[in-house]
Structure 1
Amino acid sequence: MSISLIVLALLVGASIGLTLGMLGGGGSILTVPALVYVLGLSAHDATTSSLVIVGLNAAFGAWLNCRRGPCMLRHAFVFGGIGLGAAFLGARVSQYIPEVWLLTMFGSLMLIIGSMMLRPKVQAKTDEQAIAWPAVVMGGLGVGFLTGFLGVGGGFLIVPALVLLLHMPMRTAISSSLIVIALNSSAGILGHLQGSHFDWTLIGLIISGGVIGNLLGTRFAQKVQVQTLQRSFAFFVIALGIFLVIKNFPLA
């Protein structure tokens, strides 16, 4: 493995870890394109490897965030458990939808969510008991189905769902979303064990870079105002949504 490839792998990992640690999402979106277009993996191997990379980065980021601030474990495991079943159903339904339409709907959804995050909202509740379990269950089902239907990790869907639907504080939502990402990635890895190729050296380098990025991201997130963090996340989601709609909208 060349030095340039090692440096690229570390930079890719650092970018993924920084995104997960600071914003609680976006890692799965960054990982697959980076593995394909920067590191030269096939789309199938990139998808499989991304589950390992994003899952471990998310687990590490969740551990860091939960050590430094509030972390609603019960909500995260409800989202993870219920979301896994709903994601399976969403994945089955998505098989009947053309890929270009899936990606276009995916980008459109990101535009809607990003716009909602920019709207003024009431102060998030900080009392865990004030959040109704039926809302948690419905949120987990909805996010899980969309995650499976669109074939993504779902961190960028989970964070706004926790903030907008359950009125979680932004930083708490980030920690909780990372736990859900790790759970979903673990289930995805089990489903891709057969017939997949893992370049463990490359994966190890990316994860190492991700650890550094996660450390920087979680530290930065603790120092930035919640409003600034939320607006940054919203613009991040909107930018990715615009890119996907322009790239995939079927003109013919």
Structure 2
Amino acid sequence: MLVLFALGICIGLTLGLTGAGGSIIAVPILMFGMGWTVAQAGPVALLAVASSAAVGAMIGLRQRQVRYRAAILVASCGVVVSPAGLMTAKHIPPHLLTVAFAALLAWASFTALKKSRGSSHVGVSESVGGDGASCLRDAATGRFCWTRSCGQALAITGVGAGFLSGLFGVGGGFFIVPALRRITDLSMNAVIATSMLIIALVSSGAAISAALAGRLPLDVGLPFAFGAVCGMAGGRMVSGKVDGVLLARGFSALCGVIAVLLVAREIYAWR
């Protein structure tokens, strides 16, 4: 139990420091720390990610950074689709699923590195969406001007995040954050805060689906989740004191190394 608690702290700390993308390392941490497969680690990771992201979302709500209507729309689509990801994972051979997850980590590594190169040009309080963003805010109220294209873009984001959440047991922040940056004109702070609420809701839905299917052992899931919550609280307290560019590059390197290790482990197992 102490091992699970310690691993949970690592996940929560990473999630708190990186904003939303750190949940992707929850599954490989459990795979290496506990010797599990992706399918075994996914549901436990979802419980921890949901719990820790909820803490981040509450902080964002208190700071009035969360666009909760958009978050609810994205999360609703994600919750509906996540069981399909869970069912798909059951029918994919463990080795193939692990390699696919390694590819996902490699993509997250590339995205984080690309983000670090552009971080010096965009402040956390500045709008990050371009002129082609689908969801734009009203200058007077600060709320989204809801249009069909805005709703469709948010719904598609939810579908993608929900499927990946169910398939790999990830929160989807690595997918949601870039999507919100592209389709909205929110500040980076608001993007991260809104992503936290989406991650909490989507991961909760996927975790509940896993529990109903008998794939979420609470005796190991709860200590891991409690550690993640503690780590999240600590990470958010010190996140503003850590250089964002250095953090993004470090996270990129971590994802890249884990991806290589996962592939190496599978190659060794096949021999």
- TM-score between the two structures when normalised by the length of structure 1: 0.74
Q: Deviations over 1:125-145 (max 9, x none)?
A: 395638933322222222323
CA contact (8 A) 2:57 2:193 kept: yes
Q: Deviations over 1:224-247 (max 9, x none)?
A: 454444444433433333333333
Q: Partners of 1:230 and 1:59 in 2: how far apart?
A: 22
Counterpart in 2 of 1:152?
A: 170
Q: For residues 61 and 82 of structure 1, do their structure 2 counterparts lie closer, same or farther at Cα, with a shift above 3 Å needed? A: same
Determine whether 1:129 maps to 2:134.
Answer: no
Map 1:187-198 → 2, pairs under 5 A = 187-191=205-209, 192-193=211-212, 195=214, 197-198=217-218
SS in 1 for 2:171: coil
SS in 1 for 2:77: helix
CA contact (8 A) 2:165 2:206 kept: no
Question: Which of 183, 208, 213 in structure 1 is aligned with 2:231?
Answer: 213
Question: Which of 19, 26, 30 in structure 1 is aligned with 2:26?
Answer: 30
Q: Deviations over 1:207-240 (max 9, x none)?
A: 4433332222112223345444444443343333
The CA deviation at 1:95 is 4.4
The CA deviation at 1:40 is 8.1
Structure 2 runs not aligned, ≥5 long:
123-127, 130-135, 138-142
Counterpart in 2 of 1:85?
A: 80
CA contact (8 A) 2:77 2:159 kept: yes
CA contact (8 A) 1:78 1:140 kept: yes
Q: Partners of 2:224 and 2:27 in 1: how far apart?
A: 10
Q: Partners of 1:203 and 1:59 in 2: how far apart?
A: 16
Q: Partners of 1:25 and 1:39 in 2: how far apart?
A: 22
Q: Partners of 1:45 and 1:137 in 2: how far apart?
A: 29
* Identity in percent: 28
Determine whether 1:142 maps to 2:160.
Answer: yes
Question: Which of 23, 42, 46 in structure 2 is aligned with 1:51?
Answer: 46
SS in 1 for 2:82: helix
CA contact (8 A) 1:221 1:229 kept: no
CA contact (8 A) 2:39 2:168 kept: no
Q: For residues 172 and 242 of structure 1, do their structure 2 counterparts lie closer, same or farther at Cα, with a shift above 3 Å needed? A: farther
Q: What is the number of residues matched between the two proteins?
A: 244
Determine whether 1:17 maps to 2:32.
Answer: no
CA contact (8 A) 2:43 2:169 kept: no
Question: Which of 93, 98, 123 in structure 1 is aligned with 2:93?
Answer: 98
The CA deviation at 1:118 is 2.6
Q: For residues 242 and 178 of structure 1, do their structure 2 counterparts lie closer, same or farther at Cα, with a shift above 3 Å needed? A: farther
The CA deviation at 1:251 is 6.3
Structure 1 runs not aligned, ≥5 long:
none
Q: Quote the RMSD (CA, aligned, Å).
A: 3.7
Deviates more, 1:59-68 or 1:45-54: 45-54
SS in 1 for 2:218: coil
